[in-house]
A and B are shown apart, each in its own frame.
Chain A
């Protein structure tokens, strides 16, 4: 009903939107928002690759046998890596925001074209 590549392609469209916001906008906060949107799209792409149709979550319950898990389980390896990636994104955002606050204290503006003039 839906072509199989459409979901992957729309995720890459979100990636390109985030990257455009990072490159072409002048306000620093917009650039940070671009980085955040790019990270979301990449995490979604990794989990989309590991999905299995009609699958069950990779958590063993008491009434699921191990053979059922091997036949119907969703890929657990991208999930472990995306868990790492989400928490690293939070740490990097804290660092970026602290840099932006220092820049605002020195230059009194968020506009990147005024900060770009190096003084002495």
Chain B
């Protein structure tokens, strides 16, 4: 994997690669913080998921597509996406234990603690995983399609 990272022909220059190596840990940690503390500070599942997807996108831009796909393949992104959606739907169905659809049936705990407010942190995590995988996969699909489309346009102009 270090060969993919040090390949000079793909991605951007050395300065960008060094800075991205340093910054991406901070971005992923920040995104995970916004997802996990969504019920105490502003944020929540959607904003945190989009921040994590932006972290993957900057990895793709700086190092090229092969390295990003080796970290999280497109099949893996599709599996994560579906898992997040299924977990969210099953949490909603499990609310029947409490008596109604989508009922908050877990013990609520005390205010301002991390493990409080019932099903809300679990739902935030499920939504965060789903949004991250979706947006990363759509970015990879759009960038692969670009190579494909310009090849077809060239071939049809040659004929």
Direct contact of A and B (CB under 8 A): yes
B112 within 8 A of A: yes
Partner of B46 from the list A59, A83, A101 (CB cut-off 8 Å) is A83
Provide the bound-state CA to CA distance between A94 and B50, in Å: 14
Most chain B Cβ neighbours within 10 Å, of A57, A62, A101: A101
Partner of B131 from the list A57, A87, A97 (CB cut-off 8 Å) is A87
Besides A60-B111, A105-B152, 14 new A-B residue pairs in contact (Cβ under 8 A), listed by A number:
A57-B42, A83-B44, A83-B46, A87-B46, A87-B50, A87-B131, A90-B50, A90-B135, A97-B142, A101-B142, A101-B145, A104-B149, A105-B149, A105-B153
Closest to A62 in B: B112
A116 within 8 A of B: no
Count class of interface residues, chain B: 10 to 19
A59 to chain B: which residues have CB within 8 Å? 41-42
Taking Cβ atoms with an 8 Å cutoff, the residues of A that contact B are 57, 59-60, 62, 83, 87, 90, 94, 97-98, 101, 104-105, 108
CB within 8 Å of A: which B34-60 residues: 41-42, 44, 46, 50
Partner of B149 from the list A57, A60, A101 (CB cut-off 8 Å) is A101
A and B contact pairs by CB, cutoff 8 A, 18 listed: A57-B42, A59-B41, A59-B42, A60-B111, A83-B46, A87-B50, A90-B50, A90-B135, A94-B138, A97-B142, A98-B141, A98-B142, A98-B145, A101-B142, A101-B146, A104-B149, A105-B152, A108-B153
Provide the bound-state CA to CA distance between A83 and B152, in Å: 40
Provide the bound-state CA to CA distance between A93 and B112, in Å: 37
Closest to A60 in B: B111
Closest to B40 in A: A59
Closest to B127 in A: A87
Closest to B157 in A: A108
B152 to chain A: which residues have CB within 8 Å? 105
Provide the bound-state CA to CA distance between A98 and B140, in Å: 12
Closest to A80 in B: B44
Provide the bound-state CA to CA distance between A94 and B152, in Å: 22
Provide the bound-state CA to CA distance between A60 and B142, in Å: 41
A104 to chain B: which residues have CB within 8 Å? 149
Provide the bound-state CA to CA distance between A57 and B42, in Å: 10
